[in-house]
Structure 1
Amino acid sequence: MSNNIGIHDLEAATAHYVLPLDALAEAHGIDPAKFHRGLGQDRFSVPAPDEDVVTMAATAASRLLARHPEHHVRMVIFATETGVDQSKSAGVFLHGLIGLGPHVRTVEYKQACYAGTAGIQAALGHIARYPDEQVLVVASDIARYALDSSGEPTQGAGAVAMLISADPALVAIEPQSGLYTADVNDFWRPNDSSTPFVEGKLSMDAYIEATLGSWDDFTARRELKVTDVDRFIHHQPFTKMARKAHAALAAHTGVELGDELIEESMTYNRQLGNAYTASMYFGLAAQLHADTDLTGKRLGFFSYGSGAVAEFFTGVVQEGYRAHLDAAAAVEELSAREEIDYPTYRALHEAHRTVSDDYDVEPVTQAPFRFTGVKDRVRHYAVR
C-alpha cells in the first residue's frame, strides 16, 4: 500500500426545484446582468418541503456507496451549517437511512462553509492510523436567506459525498496545509433565526484576507510556488467571489493567474447556487468532470468558512481518474430539477417550518429519500 491518502470517489445531489435568477430579477425590478455578471450566478436550487440536508446527503451517499458494495466505512463525518437538531448529529439520521452497520463512528462538524474541509482533514488522519478502513465525508447544506434581502440571489442547496481512503482513485491529498482563523462577524445565524445575517463588504474582505493568510501560512511551511498549482478550486458563495479571490492571490504573489485556472470549476455552482460546506466540492466535481485531462496535475483548494476559518491545501489527480467519474449523471441531476416561477418560490420560502410541533409533509420529491414530518418532536424520514 502506498502512502497516498485522499478522495477515492465522490457523488453529488441537489434539490428538487430550481429558480432562474431572471425570474428573481424581474420580480425585484433588477437588471438580470447584476446577477449573471455581477454575482456570476444563473440559477439556484430550491428544496421541496420534503427535502432537507439529510435527504440530499442520503441521496449522494447512497449512490456513492452503491458503487462500492465492499466498502470499509468505519467513520461518518457530516459537515453542515444547516443542522436539523441541536444535539443529534445529522450523520446519525444519514447512517440509518443508508443502512450502515452499528460499528461506525458518526459525528457532525460545524464551522460555516469550512466544515467539509475539516471533515476531510480528520478523515485523512483516521486513514493514516487505519489504512484498511474508509471514511465517508458528506457536506450538505441549504442556503436560505431572508426574502427581499441582499443575500437572496445567492441561495442554493446541495450535497457532496466523498469516500476517503488509502490509494485513492481520484485525488491524493498532499501533506501540509495553510491555516487561518480570525474572529470576524461577517456572516452568522443565531439560534433563534432561521435565516443568516451577513455584512456583504466585510464578508468579501474577510474571505480575501483569509485566502491570502492561509496561502502565506502554506508557503511558510512548504516549498511550493503558485505556478506549481495547475488548477485552483475556490469556495464559491457566488462565482464572482471566487474570481475576486483568485485575482487577489495573483496580485499578492506577483504572478499572472488566468481565469482558465478556475473557469471549469465554476460550471455547477453557477447553476445550483451556494451550497455552503459543499460549495468547494461541487467545484471539485465540476473540475474533474471537465474535458481537460488532469492526470498528474496539482489542484489547489481554498476553503473558507465565515466567522472566519480558512485552509489552503493541495491534491494530485490520479492516473485513470476518469474511469471512476460519471459527468453525464451530474449534468442530469441539474437538468432534472423542476423549474418554478417566482410566486411558487416565494410560497415555498414562506412555508418553511422550523417548529417541532407535530406535522406531516406531503410527498413531492422523486429522490430516494424524503422528510415526512415531525411526530412527538422527532424528525422522521422515509426511503422510497
Structure 2
Amino acid sequence: MVGIITYGAYIPRFRIKVEEIARVWGANPAEISGGLGVYEKSVPDLDEDTATIAVEAARSALARRRINPDDIGAVYVGSESHPYAVKPTAVTVGEAIGATPVMTAADYEFACKAGTAAIQTCMGLVGSGMIRYGLAIGADIAQGAPGDALEYTAAAGGAAFLIGNDDPIAEINATHSYTSDTPDFWRREGQSYPRHGGRFSGDPGYFKHVLGASRLLFKREGTAPADYDYAVFHQPNAKFPTRAAQILGFTKEQYLPGLVVPTVGNTYSGASPVGLAATLDIAESGDRIFVCSYGSGSGSDAFDITVTDAITSAIDRSQAPTVVELQKNLRYLDYALYARHKGKIVMQE
C-alpha cells in the first residue's frame, strides 16, 4: 500500500511574542492570545525563505532513512510564498538532495493546503507505477500586513514526506477532498500582503470544508473519530481546529499532540504537515491518524493513516530533530528586528 516512507520538518528558531506585536499597535495581548490561542510565532532568519525551509525538511526526512536520491522521481513543493514568481522551488529542493535530473517537479499553490495536494499527487504517481518515490513538501514564510489580525499568527515552517510503497512507516488508507469556490482569503500578483474576509473565513470557509471533507471520509471509509488515536487539522489558530475537532467528536487526547500553533503560529502550507510530523514523532505501530488540511479559496484534503512496524524498524527518528526539539534554543525578537527579518522594511533602490 502507498504510504509515508520517511518524513522531516523544519521550523526557524526565531520567535516574536504576541504581546510584542500588540505593544506596537496598542492592542490588548491578553485578548488576542485568548481569542486565537496563539502566544508566539516563528520568524524566518534573514537568509531563510520557503526554499531553504523545504530543503531543510527534505534533508531531515532523508537523514531518518537511507534512500537513494536517484529513486525519487518527483518533487512537489506546496506554498503560497515561493521565492520566485517564475522559477520553481521544487527544482532547488531536488538539486539540494541529489534527486536531479531524472525527475519531474512542480510548485503547487492552493493557499494552506498545497502541501497535502502534493501528497495526493505523489500517491497517484506511486500507485500507478510511474515513480518509485515522490517527495511532497508543504512550506511557507507567511506574511500578514502590519497591524492586521494575520500578523499575530503568520509564521514560518514546513514538513516533507517521502511517498512510496516500499515498507512505509505509515500507510495512507484513503484520502478524500472537499472543494468549492469560496473566496475567503486572497492576494493578487504583486501585492505584498493578503486580504481576508474576517469572520467569513470561519463558517463558510474553514468549517464548511474541514467538516465536509472529514465527514466525507468517515462516510466513505466507514470510520468514526473513535477509530483514531490522533487527529491533525489545519491550524490557522488554536480556536478553529479545536472547535472542528470537538464538533466531529474528537477528544483532547487525540488532537492536542498535533496542535503546534500556540507556540509556532500558522505556517500556512506547513500547518497540517508540521502537525502530522509532530504526531509521527511520537506515534507507535498500529496507531491510526486522521488528518484534514484546509486551504482558502477553498478546499480540504482528509487522510486516513495507519502507522506500521516500520516506524521503528525502517527509520531512525533520532537522526533528525523532532518538532518538539525544533522549538528549543529559541531567540526572541523585538518588533524592529522582526520587521527586518520579515522584509517589512522596504529600502529605496
Match of 2:177 in 1: 179
Alpha-carbon distance in 1 for matches of 2:321, 2:93: 26
Alpha-carbon distance in 2 for matches of 1:161, 1:282: 9
Cα distance change on mapping 1:8 and 1:131 into 2, 3 Å: farther
Cα distance change on mapping 1:203 and 1:318 into 2, 3 Å: same
Cα distance change on mapping 1:59 and 1:122 into 2, 3 Å: same
The TM-score with structure 2 as length reference comes to 0.90
SS at match of 2:294: strand
Alpha-carbon distance in 2 for matches of 1:159, 1:349: 17
Matching residue within 285, 294, 305 for 1:295: 285
Count of residue correspondences: 343
Q: In structure 1, give the amino acid aligned to 2:224.
A: K
SS at match of 2:182: coil
SS at match of 2:121: helix
Match of 1:236 in 2: 235
SS at match of 1:77: strand
After superposition, give the CA deviation of every residue in 1:132-154 in whole Å (9 maximum; x if it has no partner).
71111111101110010111101
Match of 1:274 in 2: 266
Q: In structure 1, give the amino acid aligned to 2:266.
A: N
Match of 2:317 in 1: 325
Query: What pairs with 1:102-141 in structure 2 (closer than 5 Å)?
Result: 102-130=101-129, 133-141=132-140
After superposition, give the CA deviation of every residue in 1:146-167 in whole Å (9 maximum; x if it has no partner).
0101111011001211111114
The TM-score with structure 1 as length reference comes to 0.82
Cα distance change on mapping 1:63 and 1:212 into 2, 3 Å: closer
TM-aligned CA deviation for residue 85 of structure 1: 2.3
2:64 equivalent to 1:60: no
Match of 1:97 in 2: 96
SS at match of 2:262: helix
Query: What pairs with 1:248-267 in structure 2 (closer than 5 Å)?
Result: 248-250=247-249, 257-266=250-259
Cα distance change on mapping 1:87 and 1:350 into 2, 3 Å: closer
Alpha-carbon distance in 2 for matches of 1:283, 1:215: 16
SS at match of 1:7: strand
Alpha-carbon distance in 1 for matches of 2:52, 2:258: 25
1:296 touches 1:316 (CA, 8 Å); kept in 2? yes
Structure 2: where are the runs of 5+ without partners? none
Alpha-carbon distance in 2 for matches of 1:170, 1:318: 5
Matching residue within 329, 338, 347 for 1:345: 338
TM-aligned CA deviation for residue 228 of structure 1: 1.9
TM-aligned CA deviation for residue 81 of structure 1: 1.0
Structure 1: where are the runs of 5+ without partners? 251-256, 358-384
Moved over 4 A (4+): 350-355
2:40 equivalent to 1:43: yes
TM-aligned CA deviation for residue 234 of structure 1: 0.4
2:306 equivalent to 1:316: yes
TM-aligned CA deviation for residue 76 of structure 1: 0.5
After superposition, give the CA deviation of every residue in 1:164-191 in whole Å (9 maximum; x if it has no partner).
111444321003x332111111111111
2:151 equivalent to 1:152: yes
SS at match of 2:188: coil
Alpha-carbon distance in 2 for matches of 1:204, 1:104: 39
Cα distance change on mapping 1:104 and 1:230 into 2, 3 Å: same
Alpha-carbon distance in 1 for matches of 2:128, 2:347: 40
Segment drifting more, 312-321 vs 146-155? 312-321
Alpha-carbon distance in 1 for matches of 2:167, 2:79: 24
Query: What pairs with 1:15-94 in structure 2 (closer than 5 Å)?
Result: 15-66=12-63, 67-71=65-69, 72-94=71-93
Matching residue within 193, 198, 201 for 1:200: 198
2:294 equivalent to 1:304: yes
1:178 touches 1:219 (CA, 8 Å); kept in 2? no
Identity of aligned residues (%): 30
Match of 1:362 in 2: none
TM-aligned CA deviation for residue 70 of structure 1: 2.5
Alpha-carbon distance in 2 for matches of 1:168, 1:303: 25
Cα distance change on mapping 1:227 and 1:275 into 2, 3 Å: same
Cα distance change on mapping 1:227 and 1:49 into 2, 3 Å: same
Cα distance change on mapping 1:354 and 1:294 into 2, 3 Å: farther
Q: In structure 2, give the amino acid aligned to 1:258.
A: T
1:207 touches 1:304 (CA, 8 Å); kept in 2? yes
2:279 equivalent to 1:283: no
Match of 1:9 in 2: 6
Alpha-carbon distance in 2 for matches of 1:337, 1:169: 33
Cα RMSD (Å)? 2.3
Alpha-carbon distance in 1 for matches of 2:290, 2:120: 15
Match of 1:217 in 2: 216
After superposition, give the CA deviation of every residue in 1:43-69 in whole Å (9 maximum; x if it has no partner).
111122321101111122123224424
Cα distance change on mapping 1:5 and 1:30 into 2, 3 Å: same
1:140 touches 1:158 (CA, 8 Å); kept in 2? yes
TM-aligned CA deviation for residue 17 of structure 1: 2.0
Q: In structure 1, give the amino acid aligned to 2:19.
A: D
